[in-house]
Amino acid sequence: MKIVNAAHFSTKRDVDTGTETQRQAVLSIISAVKETGDQAVFSFTEQFDRVRLEQLAVTEQERNNALDEVSSQVREALEAAAINIRRFHEKQARQSWIETSPTGTMLGQLVRPLQRVGIYVPGGTAAYPSSVLMNAIPAQVAGVKEIVMVTPPNQEGRIDPGVLTAAKIAGVTEIFKVGGAQAIAALAYGTKTIRSVDKIVGPGNIYVALAKREVFGLVDIDMVAGPSEIVVLADELANPAYIAADLLSQAEHDPMASAVLVTPSKELAAQTQIELEQQLANLPRREIAEASIRDYGAICLVEDLEEGIKVVNELAPEHLEVMIEHPFEQLGKIENAGAIFLGEYSSEPVGDYFAGPNHVLPTNGTARFSSPLNVDDFIKKSSLISYSKQDLLEHGPKIIAMAESEGLTAHARAIELRLKKERGN
Amino acid sequence: MKIVNAAHFSTKRDVDTGTETQRQAVLSIISAVKETGDQAVFSFTEQFDRVRLEQLAVTEQERNNALDEVSSQVREALEAAAINIRRFHEKQARQSWIETSPTGTMLGQLVRPLQRVGIYVPGGTAAYPSSVLMNAIPAQVAGVKEIVMVTPPNQEGRIDPGVLTAAKIAGVTEIFKVGGAQAIAALAYGTKTIRSVDKIVGPGNIYVALAKREVFGLVDIDMVAGPSEIVVLADELANPAYIAADLLSQAEHDPMASAVLVTPSKELAAQTQIELEQQLANLPRREIAEASIRDYGAICLVEDLEEGIKVVNELAPEHLEVMIEHPFEQLGKIENAGAIFLGEYSSEPVGDYFAGPNHVLPTNGTARFSSPLNVDDFIKKSSLISYSKQDLLEHGPKIIAMAESEGLTAHARAIELRLKKERGN
């Protein structure tokens, strides 16, 4: 892993909006699904997933069979994780509120769940049951009644049993065998089989991401996810073996994943390099991890912790591990990070799988302005205004003055009319 | 205004992603601003706003002069409105939280303001100081330090004094004379004069909307706004003059604005039609309002209130006025609406200008899944995980089982390494 000084460490980024060819492909898939619904969905599934399906919906029997195909150890771990995830997210739930005033006016904010949401779960080489928990449980905690999962089938037309088991644990209500841009189009516009949803969440490839961009506004979407990232901020007391192991746990995700160590200690930097080499040697996903470390990994040498935190805030990492002597003492200075792991036992996989906070986190520097997936992503608010006669009589003239200054006479007259009648003019 | 039965009342909608020509224009503006920064901004301003500017930033003197150009009545109304808006939004503010466990683990959620946000304020035929208050105050309440306003200058290179006054009242920290897609590009990528922001909010024309879509991900954006809408749900006791006045206060915004009365009362429908004709007669913005009423207005006749509420929930209107005998009794059934106005004194302009809740509301049916602009739009959350040795020893094996079942060996090893060391193996 290359070592660079903070001064030469670039944090520049841009957004991936795909190539024109990719975008045109997505537009044509969306318009086909819009026009012919299920027919287009079946046909794209045959084309892209190489399977001719009899039906899109996963049956109750398929869902039940899956439970037997997962080891009891894994199933129990998923169930324990689900309890933690549910408990953490329940703390995020919000209340509607109303305030009354002696003048008779009542103002408030109603908080209600979305009615129907779609969760995209990638298929392909790997299946991630944990992602099903992380996406579906916050929706369930928010009170969403209909949680629809879509995921591409394999060439036998099957869905990973771990994914189906997690869906059961997390309370997913419908599952369809469809992936890619066609899945997003079906969720947004609806087909005969798949009714449209209010919001689509979950990661996917560039076609899925572009399709989400296109339907944004007709339905809501979550932030478009980029490759995974970890930054470890460590001082000379940190354990280089732990650091290397945690960096690799990011790196094994994706050749484009990024793993960065920020430290003022040259010795720690050198030791971590050695550990990385050793641990890489017999890693099953070595090729992926090696490419990630080579192309997107770095050790950033800083003058001191203060400069280190500055680099961290500029990177705004998805995952930040703080392995320094007194991590809580620096917490206030860390402004941008999706999830912050404090201390040597808070290894990133603890958060990826089990502790309770969500593992769907803002990537590519978006932690500057966006948040881990949470209950707020599955609620909507409505303002409530019950204005009293007394307040209208008192404040009506100000409202009229503002409306007239903006040239909106009909606005002014809607108030004038009421003032006239109530004053008996 | 046409009268239709609920059975024939369509609520179908789609999202406006512009024409290919518009999109290409936006892409080329963005790439020019990305490449040449201020130079491109000056040049597009000359091309589109027909003014050659000396500098982009509004000076302190310009800001102060504006205050003298606004009547004291309007200024005082803006100040009173700002107090109400601030007070309402302060109730939305959230706290960071942390939970401790006897096993030593601490989990939490940090809530912090975005650092720098951009507010787009449209120019052109009308200036809306109230919109400046509604966009900037929630950001200020959230704790955002840098609130940057962009708005196109007129042909004399000036900004509306009402808009500048509202910016002063609302605590806007920087103002630049730039509009259109070039303003969005400058806010997203930054130029020498305009530093990049974390989020862009505020309505604009189709070029502004498309540019926001393109930069989404590099920065956050608010929901892309469509034309304004009002739905009035009324029974036979409602005042048709008030209803007509309120419908017109939406209709005067835009020929594409939509004003709909939903009622079970044929008599109220007929009376409202007569009132509309009379009130339209001498309205300054008659042409706009007439087109809106003709093309997008309707009276939807329903069997009863229950069917009326069903129509309302399908429409998911931006503004909903409930003018029925006991409006609070029906509140629980109303699922989708940006702002709900209860009773005959809660005329929509009360909320547009003064009461306190935000007037930036979800349009085009997006109230199904999105919310009035609020303090949450200007904060970000970070998860906090401080896992204890005790919990790692106890739960580590479950984490390992989950990671292995997903084929992510490096994840498993990061935990195994720690278990081995702590168990002294």
Selected residues 293-352 of chain A with any CB under 8 Å from a CB in chain B: 327-328, 331, 334-352
Write the CB contacts of A203 (distance below 8 Å, at least 6 apart in sequence).
A120, A122, A131, A225, A360
Give the separation between CA A75 and CA A313, rounded to whole angstroms: 38
B259 and B296 together in one domain: yes
B243 and B187 together in one domain: no
Please give the full DSSP string across A210-237, using - where no structure is assigned. HHHHHHBTTBEE-PPP---EEEEEE-TT
A146 and A95 together in one domain: yes
Query: Residue B311's pLDDT band (boundaries 50, 70, 90)?
Result: very high
Calculate how close chain B gets to A352, using CA atoms only, in Å: 9
Mean pLDDT per 10-residue interval, chain A, length 425 residues: 84 76 95 97 96 96 94 97 98 96 98 97 84 97 98 94 96 97 98 97 92 92 84 97 97 92 97 96 93 94 96 96 96 96 97 97 93 97 98 97 95 97 81
| Beta carbons of A353 and B399 less than 8 Å apart | yes
Q: Judge whether A295 is annotated as a binding position.
A: no
Give the separation between CA A136 and CA A115, rounded to whole angstroms: 13
pLDDT score, position A226? 78
Query: Residue B17's pLDDT band (boundaries 50, 70, 90)?
Result: confident
* Active-site hit among B319, B321, B344, B359: B319
Q: Is residue B371 pLDDT above 70, yes or no? A: yes
B79 and B197 together in one domain: yes
B287 and B337 together in one domain: yes
Q: Is residue B225 pLDDT above 90, yes or no? A: no
pLDDT, tens digit, 9 for 90 and up, residues B44-75? 999 999 999 999 999 999 999 999 999 999 99
pLDDT, tens digit, 9 for 90 and up, residues A225-261? 778 899 999 999 999 999 999 999 999 998 988 999 9
Query: Residue B241's pLDDT band (boundaries 50, 70, 90)?
Result: very high
pLDDT score, position B366? 92
Q: What are the beta bridge partners of residue B116?
A: B146
Interface test with A, best of B399, B400, B422 (most A CBs within 10 A): B399
A43 and A7 together in one domain: no
B257 and B291 together in one domain: yes
Interface test with B, best of A115, A282, A413 (most B CBs within 10 A): A413
Residue whose pair of structure tokens reads 């009891």 in the numeric block = A72
B116 inside domain: yes
Q: What are the beta bridge partners of residue A149?
A: A119, A175
Of B161, B190, B221, the position where a domain reaches its end is: B221
SS3 B336: coil
Calculate how close chain A gets to B407, using CA atoms only, in Å: 7
Q: Does B148 touch chain A (CB under 8 A)?
A: no
Number of domains in chain A: 3
Smallest Cβ–Cβ distance between A73 and the set B347, B356, B401 belongs to: B401
B214 and B236 together in one domain: no
Q: Judge whether A352 is annotated as a binding position.
A: yes
pLDDT score, position B233? 98
Give the separation between CA B149 and CA B167, rounded to whole angstroms: 8
For this structure, is B326 an active site residue? Answer: no
pLDDT score, position A415? 98
B363 inside domain: no
A380 inside domain: no
Closest CA to A126 of B25, B20, B408: B408
Q: Is residue B348 pLDDT above 80, yes or no? A: yes
pLDDT score, position B11? 67
Is pLDDT larger for residue B10 or for residue A166?
A166
Return the sign of the alpha-carbon dihedral for residues A227, A228, A231, A237.
Answer: negative
Q: Does A272 touch chain B (CB under 8 A)?
A: no
B169 and B64 together in one domain: yes
For this structure, is B335 an active site residue? Answer: no
Calculate how close chain B gets to A117, using CA atoms only, in Å: 10
Instruction: Give the helix/strand (H/E) hosting A99.
Output: strand A97-100
pLDDT, tens digit, 9 for 90 and up, residues A6-47? 887 776 677 777 888 999 999 999 999 999 999 999 999 999
B311 and B395 together in one domain: no
A107 and A162 together in one domain: yes
Contacts of B214 in chain A (CB under 8 A): 17
Q: How many CB atoms lie within 10 A of CB A157?
A: 16
Of A221, A248, A282, the position where a domain reaches its end is: A221
Q: Does A252 touch chain B (CB under 8 A)?
A: yes
Of B221, B253, B281, the position where a domain reaches its end is: B221
DSSP state of B380: E
pLDDT, tens digit, 9 for 90 and up, residues B72-131? 999 999 999 999 999 999 999 999 999 999 999 999 999 999 999 999 999 866 789 999
Which chain B residue's Cα is nearest to A395? Answer: B354
B99 and B37 together in one domain: yes
B362 inside domain: no
Write the CB contacts of B276 (distance below 8 Å, at least 6 apart in sequence).
B1, B244, B247, B248, B293
pLDDT score, position B108? 98
Calculate how close chain A gets to B245, using CA atoms only, in Å: 5
B372 inside domain: no
* Average of per-residue pLDDT across B136-140: 98
Side-chain half-sphere CA neighbours of B130 within 13 A: 30
Round the average pLDDT of chain B to a whole number and report it: 94
Domain CATH code at residue B331 = 3.40.50.1980
pLDDT, tens digit, 9 for 90 and up, residues A65-88? 999 999 999 999 999 999 999 999
Angle, helices A20-36 vs A180-189, to 10°: value is: 50
For residue A405, give its domain range.
Answer: 388-423
B378 inside domain: no
pLDDT score, position B8? 79
A282 inside domain: yes
Which chain B residue's Cα is nearest to A214? Answer: B17
A335-339, B13-17, B291-295, range with the lowest pLDDT: B13-17
B371 inside domain: no
